[in-house]
Structure 1
């Protein structure tokens, strides 16, 4: 499987669609009677004055989520190849993204974090352009607006604003105007949002939008660890990725090294921002799928022992399908 996707072949899109269907068979077989889809935060509900939460049947919900994931996989693949992050054209990023977005059942339905992954990919296009851009002020302003839009869809996305400043530190010499441009872009969107609140006589509630950001980081989380055994091969691949990255780090171009540094911070920000939502939901970690797919791709594109990396990926596929049919 890995060897097929290592080659940049347009026919791999077909194989990708078939694999995505296979990885969702277990969930489709026992899909719930109702699936809720909420694509804006409650504070932005005024923007969508119609009832839409159950507008799609469960099967339509899963199908549309699959279409979005396939589109995101192809966009991510284009991003990685465009910036030459893996050293040669390949279809591995799309394969890894489709695989990672099949890990848990909440990943396979329509959700706000899934919509936000389009914004994550869009941000990466702009963030990576910092390296060769002479003036990053307009790009930082655009990125601030993207984060603001993402915050309206899914509030924890606001923490990805840090990725703008981190990218400026990694790619550019310090320029306070570029740092301020991102803030201006963010508040431009919310200025118009405040006007909308004012026109609807709700300006007094505007400051409540950011109240959840004051939530304390939880001391503990009650989870059934057996349901997360599927992550064992994921963790193993991540560890192998870091070993490969360490071996090849100084052999890579400077832009590639800096890009992987940024992806690591985005991965951390996406993972650690889960606590903002009062109700813990696994679909939050879809925000980590984009950088994680690039990490996985890096390992598999550089792995030399074919039986090992093919077996490791097969183990991951088997684990995903097995845990869809077996819960503890």
Structure 2
């Protein structure tokens, strides 16, 4: 299967869609009667004055989430091919995105982090454009706005502001104007939100928006580790990616190296920003899927022993399906 997606064939999108919904069968079979969908933070609820939390049936919810995932997979694939991160056009990033986005049941339904992935992909396009841009102030301003919009949808997305500054460090010589432009972009969105709070007589609550940012990082998270054995092949592939990257890093173009460095920091930010939510929720980690899809596709694209990488990918698929039907 991996070899098929190594080729750049538009028909691959059809097979991606089939694989996408096959990997969701386990959840559809055991789906609860109601599935909640919240796509804005409580402090931004004023902007959406309608009841929508249970507007979709579980089946429709999964179907719509699948469409979003497929769209994001195509966008990630376009990003990788546009910036030539793998050396030649391929559909591997889309395959990896669809696969990793099926790891856990919470990934398979509509959620705020899933919607934020569109914003994250948009950010990556703009951040990568820093490399050849002469003046990045307007782009940095746009990125600040994107992060602010993402924060309205899902507050932990605020930490992606760090990715903007890291991108400026990686791609650009230092210019304080570019750094300030990103801040101004972020402030612009929340200025208008403050106006809405003021006009609705709730301005005193506006400053409580930032209270979760003061949460302490947890020393431990209570989870049943047996339910996370599906991550074993994920960690193996990720380790193999770093080995392969070490072998090829200085053989790559400078822009490719910088993009991969940026994606590494995006992965760290996405993975560590879960703590400001009161309850630990797996759905947060769907934001890690974007960089992981690129890393996985890099490994599978450069792997040479077909029997090994095909078997490894098959093991990943089997693990995903098995843990959908079996919990401990």
Instruction: Give the TM interval when normalised to the shorter protein.
Output: over 0.9
Distance in 2 (CA, whole Å) between partners of 1:196 and 1:326 is 47
Q: What do the CA deviations read for 1:212-255 (whole angstroms, capped 9, x no partner)?
A: 00000001100000000000000000000000000000000000
Aligned: 1:142 with 2:135:
no
Distance in 2 (CA, whole Å) between partners of 1:287 and 1:45 is 22
Distance in 1 (CA, whole Å) between partners of 2:136 and 2:260 is 20
Aligned: 1:12 with 2:12:
yes
Give 3-state SS (helix, strand or coil) of 1:279's partner. coil
- Aligned counterparts, 1:281-292, within 5 A: 281-292=281-292
Residue 279 of structure 1 and its aligned partner are, at CA, apart by 1.0
Aligned residue in 2 for 1:73: 73
Aligned residue in 2 for 1:115: 115
- Aligned counterparts, 1:308-323, within 5 A: 308-323=308-323
Residue 20 of structure 1 and its aligned partner are, at CA, apart by 0.6
Q: How many residue pairs get matched?
A: 328
TM-score for both structures, normalised by structure 1: 1.00
Distance in 1 (CA, whole Å) between partners of 2:142 and 2:252 is 29
Q: What do the CA deviations read for 1:123-179 (whole angstroms, capped 9, x no partner)?
A: 000000000001000000000000000000000000000001100100010000000
Give 3-state SS (helix, strand or coil) of 1:135's partner. coil
Aligned residue in 2 for 1:52: 52
5+ residue gaps, structure 2, are none
Distance in 1 (CA, whole Å) between partners of 2:128 and 2:211 is 32
TM-score for both structures, normalised by structure 2: 1.00
Give 3-state SS (helix, strand or coil) of 2:130's partner. coil
Aligned residue in 2 for 1:106: 106
Distance in 2 (CA, whole Å) between partners of 1:260 and 1:201 is 46
Aligned residue in 2 for 1:303: 303
Aligned residue in 2 for 1:224: 224
Aligned residue in 1 for 2:201: 201
Report the aligned-residue RMSD.
0.4
Q: What do the CA deviations read for 1:91-138 (whole angstroms, capped 9, x no partner)?
A: 000000000000000000000000000000000000000000010000
Aligned residue in 1 for 2:254: 254
Distance in 2 (CA, whole Å) between partners of 1:222 and 1:189 is 36
List structure 1 runs of 4+ shifted beyond 4 angstroms. none
Give 3-state SS (helix, strand or coil) of 1:130's partner. helix
Distance in 2 (CA, whole Å) between partners of 1:165 and 1:186 is 13
Distance in 1 (CA, whole Å) between partners of 2:50 and 2:25 is 32
- Aligned counterparts, 1:86-101, within 5 A: 86-101=86-101
Moved more, 18-27 or 102-111: 18-27
Distance in 2 (CA, whole Å) between partners of 1:269 and 1:23 is 27
Distance in 1 (CA, whole Å) between partners of 2:258 and 2:44 is 36
5+ residue gaps, structure 1, are none
Distance in 1 (CA, whole Å) between partners of 2:291 and 2:63 is 24
Q: What do the CA deviations read for 1:233-286 (whole angstroms, capped 9, x no partner)?
A: 000000000000000000000000010000000000000000010011100001
Distance in 1 (CA, whole Å) between partners of 2:25 and 2:204 is 48
